[in-house]
Structure 1
């Protein structure tokens, strides 16, 4: 069956797809169809709506695609679970809601790696500010107010947080007013995407306000099976709903927003990728593009866990008798422990003096969570430090192994296969332990539970990391932008190189992984892409202390709109 054509078909209703659905339909003249393979974002679905329930959708087949890696050679051949949001809002509906831009140097590096200064920090900063609605006290020369996405600073209140921030200072780290401000190296309370006690997913902040527009149609539980290509141009998509046959939707432009796994998977299923690999699966090669599915990156993380001598942790929240009050306080009044991710304070540090900027992330929770290594009784008080290495030499891949679109691709990250990564991990654990050993925390410290006193030498630390580390939910770079032979998209347009009518706008196009969680950078990227697609004038580069402006960069690849089309409101 062939349906009436749309101006734009967006494949994937995750973070980037929600941003684009809002921005591209604001003029009222552009007909947009948003297709999402997962479920709707029901208002009553507490696992995705209630911040404290953030762990519930991860690993649940209704909310998580349940991707699993190939055996990781650097992690004792373990297969890792890669959580990906299965529904409207994508991974912004199941992540930890912690909003982090990354370090300015990350984006200056993007400017070099992509081959154009349009992706450096000065050009990205105004788009970060445009998306933000910061409710906390911030420096408005670098932070935004009044944007679609509401951000609240974690209160980080109570004896454990107070002692931790003092300990950070005692360990020689700076205390900062804002980790998303002019400095990233240091410690502070954290920004979280929450509003009135509920998760501020991209579905809530961007898609919700646009859903009543007559020129936007949203279809969930709709799996796109392949791109429809004619004469070197993508002219539509094929999709499947339920047990029915494929439906063809023509489009003037198709935008892939299916994420770092889904976007390269769909390209490969459509015959776009490394010719030799596609031919081996019996696929007709439409466009030989070897970089598709390569350069995959993610962060890796472990937890240092301590028992707490005093009954001041969040342990009581785990008792079901308290849940009705916790839920009611969060949803009715927007307050209480249910209204936030427990990890409300943290910071960034360098693994060594040779590093030009931070490469380690630390997040504290006043709660000892269950671990695969050893479980803490529900009534036992404790706290734990999330430890992540933000820069790695590891590069992996996403490769289809079947022509069946419902079959998951092979995912490999190659974590901890490089000597430099092992050095960073030894330092990451050492610095984390040093933080938790400061005098400010001594009156609370009931001893290290994980990894425990038996893990001390460098070799023991590496062995523990390879045995227990988990992924950071930050997959990226598998269809990266650039001008070299391995690049997949043109950085000036985000069009797939060598094809017309097709763009990719999601974490897959990042040239390299940012020094932070990725949902904030993905929203920024989609905001910037919307101006490219609409042919709007781009926001002018900004430098802290200067007035923002606008700079015309629309080129011949822009999708032209009727006169008077301007920047879309939130």
Structure 2
């Protein structure tokens, strides 16, 4: 066998989790590690300049740009699912909000059988990953020496003050740290940036170790299938252009291809629902009915407004002059409008007063958003986004064919559970309240699209939601972790029914956390690295 293609660990997917694993596992010079990424090695300025996400999320640039299957809960519409296709994965094209979720989310995981994943056990891994640059951050919950840089926004728009004042009028307290003592309230988001430059997983974890002789970074290499010696994972077959190669793994294959890519690769490799694999002509290695099931995502309702204010992003001659000036400012000191993450402020709130924790989240965006930015409009404006945090709808990821280059069938099943419809209706009503406050109501606002009477009938609001809701980019759960026999991976993230194979990414989350999912994915990979290297005892 070609030694150049033999490794101890082969990691599939150069996204947030894969970059962490490549860094941590290759810290032992006696271990050979390969990291396989389907996209390019770098996204250049589209990644490093925070505002560059406006050119990646709506397009195929550095993006898988998946569509969903027609959504029964959304009037048969197809949703859009952008996912990063570049070293750094979705951390290279996301809005950089650094949110861990609610502490109770992780205690729920532990109570459900995921031993070792309670809040007190995962907090050290959040802190190990974090290089917090926020002045006066609480050292009891923040880390300051980690690779992933977290900072305050360098040049937030002055328009944030109006949105936050509007929320204050509606009774929402200011919160300077959503990862601190409490999650409730509104404020400016902390972001994964360092001095106005995006701190994605590739920049944070790969750049410092690119010179390691024992780490092979393979870009533009698409994983076709996992190979097996009996029930033991032995390697990965990859596609590079028109050719195929086999990467042997002496110790383990680790799948970190995300909530869509990981279940797709497992199924292509014979791990999944046996009858479905048989129908497609795939030899079944392990009949695992839950592979690709349990898909969860945050459904997002958007209220966009036109407003002639160049503090907001938009298409106009004045806006172009502002952006030209901003480009010069960014080149000088990485500040100004181009250091934006667009979703500059927001917060967490409860749609009913008797709830034990926030069940909804706001993202206040400094521009009009229509169809994920794929539809552009003249003029300037802003968008108020509201998502519910723990939806009860459950979807799936299935194979469209045996072609590894074909997109999977993604079905988030948005708004198929009546409780989700009711919760999002309440969240949308509270969002509309902000627009009637003195802070925002003094400004002439024009809705980007017709809206219902937000103080009127629930049925009219539901109709609006079904016509307009889509993802806010937090898919998880399709390779569910658990202690029960039906779970895809155990609490050490080992795939049940086979050996030497783990899944490490957002797909292992048994349930959605209350917030953005990039920081938790990085935490999962940090803990997984310790489990793999024997630095933390693997749960029984």
Q: Say yes or no: does 1:15 pair with 2:13.
A: no
Are the equivalent residues in 2 in contact too, given 1:195–1:334 (CA < 8 A)?
no
Does 50-59 or 308-317 show the bigger shift? 308-317
- 2:508 alignment counterpart: 509
Q: Could you list the runs of 5+ residues in structure 1 that have no partner in the other structure? A: 538-552, 558-570
Cα distance in 2, alignment partners of residues 428 and 260 from structure 1: 26
Q: 1:446 to 1:110 in 2, by over 3 A?
A: same
Q: 1:449 to 1:87 in 2, by over 3 A?
A: closer
Are the equivalent residues in 1 in contact too, given 2:254–2:501 (CA < 8 A)?
yes
What displacement does 1:381 show?
3.8
Q: Say yes or no: does 1:124 pair with 2:122.
A: yes
- 1:5 alignment counterpart: 6
1:400-479 mapped onto 2 (5 Å cutoff): 400-452=399-451, 456-479=456-479
Does 177-186 or 316-325 show the bigger shift? 316-325
What displacement does 1:159 show?
4.4
Partner-residue secondary structure (3-state), 1:523? helix
Are the equivalent residues in 2 in contact too, given 1:481–1:488 (CA < 8 A)?
yes
Q: 1:196 to 1:373 in 2, by over 3 A?
A: closer
What displacement does 1:325 show?
3.6
Partner-residue secondary structure (3-state), 1:487? coil
1:127-166 mapped onto 2 (5 Å cutoff): 127-137=125-135, 138-154=137-153, 157=156, 159-166=158-165
What displacement does 1:311 show?
5.6
Cα distance in 2, alignment partners of residues 520 and 317 from structure 1: 36
Partner-residue secondary structure (3-state), 2:78? coil
Q: 1:266 to 1:397 in 2, by over 3 A?
A: same
Cα distance in 1, alignment partners of residues 324 and 106 from structure 2: 44
Are the equivalent residues in 2 in contact too, given 1:198–1:331 (CA < 8 A)?
no
- 1:540 alignment counterpart: none
Cα distance in 2, alignment partners of residues 372 and 68 from structure 1: 12
Partner-residue secondary structure (3-state), 1:118? coil
Q: What per-residue deviation string (whole Å, max 9, x for no partner) do you get for residues 139-162 of structure 1?
A: 111111121111112367554222
- 1:333 alignment counterpart: 333
Q: What per-residue deviation string (whole Å, max 9, x for no partner) do you get for residues 225-254 of structure 1?
A: 111111211111111211013434343211
Q: What per-residue deviation string (whole Å, max 9, x for no partner) do you get for residues 408-462 of structure 1?
A: 1111111111111111111011110112322222333435444536664311211
- 1:24 alignment counterpart: 25
Q: What per-residue deviation string (whole Å, max 9, x for no partner) do you get for residues 102-128 of structure 1?
A: 111111111122x14411111111111
Q: Say yes or no: does 1:198 pair with 2:197.
A: yes
What displacement does 1:497 show?
1.1
Are the equivalent residues in 1 in contact too, given 2:480–2:509 (CA < 8 A)?
yes
Cα distance in 1, alignment partners of residues 234 and 314 from structure 2: 55
- 1:185 alignment counterpart: 184
Partner-residue secondary structure (3-state), 1:414? coil
Q: 1:47 to 1:155 in 2, by over 3 A?
A: closer
What displacement does 1:94 show?
1.1
Partner-residue secondary structure (3-state), 2:41? coil
Cα distance in 2, alignment partners of residues 483 and 232 from structure 1: 21
Cα distance in 2, alignment partners of residues 94 and 121 from structure 1: 28
Cα distance in 2, alignment partners of residues 169 and 341 from structure 1: 23
Does 448-457 or 56-65 show the bigger shift? 448-457
Q: 1:524 to 1:286 in 2, by over 3 A?
A: same
Q: What per-residue deviation string (whole Å, max 9, x for no partner) do you get for residues 469-503 of structure 1?
A: 12111111000100123201011x21111211111
Cα distance in 2, alignment partners of residues 301 and 483 from structure 1: 31
Cα distance in 2, alignment partners of residues 304 and 155 from structure 1: 26
Are the equivalent residues in 1 in contact too, given 2:155–2:339 (CA < 8 A)?
no
- 1:212 alignment counterpart: 211
Are the equivalent residues in 2 in contact too, given 1:93–1:201 (CA < 8 A)?
yes
Cα distance in 2, alignment partners of residues 381 and 128 from structure 1: 37
What root-mean-square deviation, in Å, do the aligned CA atoms of Structure 1 and Structure 2 show? 2.2
What displacement does 1:61 show?
2.5
Q: 1:376 to 1:407 in 2, by over 3 A?
A: closer
Does 220-229 or 11-20 show the bigger shift? 220-229
Q: Say yes or no: does 1:52 pair with 2:33.
A: no
Are the equivalent residues in 1 in contact too, given 2:268–2:402 (CA < 8 A)?
yes
1:160-309 mapped onto 2 (5 Å cutoff): 160-308=159-307
Are the equivalent residues in 2 in contact too, given 1:489–1:497 (CA < 8 A)?
yes
Q: 1:136 to 1:258 in 2, by over 3 A?
A: same
Aligned length: 536
- 2:39 alignment counterpart: 38
Q: What per-residue deviation string (whole Å, max 9, x for no partner) do you get for residues 277-321 of structure 1?
A: 111111111111111111011111122123336665344798444
Q: Normalized against structure 2, the TM-score is what?
A: 0.94
Partner-residue secondary structure (3-state), 2:497? coil
Q: 1:534 to 1:484 in 2, by over 3 A?
A: same
Are the equivalent residues in 2 in contact too, given 1:154–1:345 (CA < 8 A)?
no
Q: Normalized against structure 1, the TM-score is what?
A: 0.89
Q: 1:248 to 1:518 in 2, by over 3 A?
A: same
Are the equivalent residues in 1 in contact too, given 2:154–2:195 (CA < 8 A)?
no
- 1:542 alignment counterpart: none
Does 66-75 or 154-163 show the bigger shift? 154-163
Cα distance in 1, alignment partners of residues 494 and 184 from structure 2: 35
- 1:84 alignment counterpart: 83
Q: Could you list the runs of 5+ residues in structure 2 that have no partner in the other structure? A: none
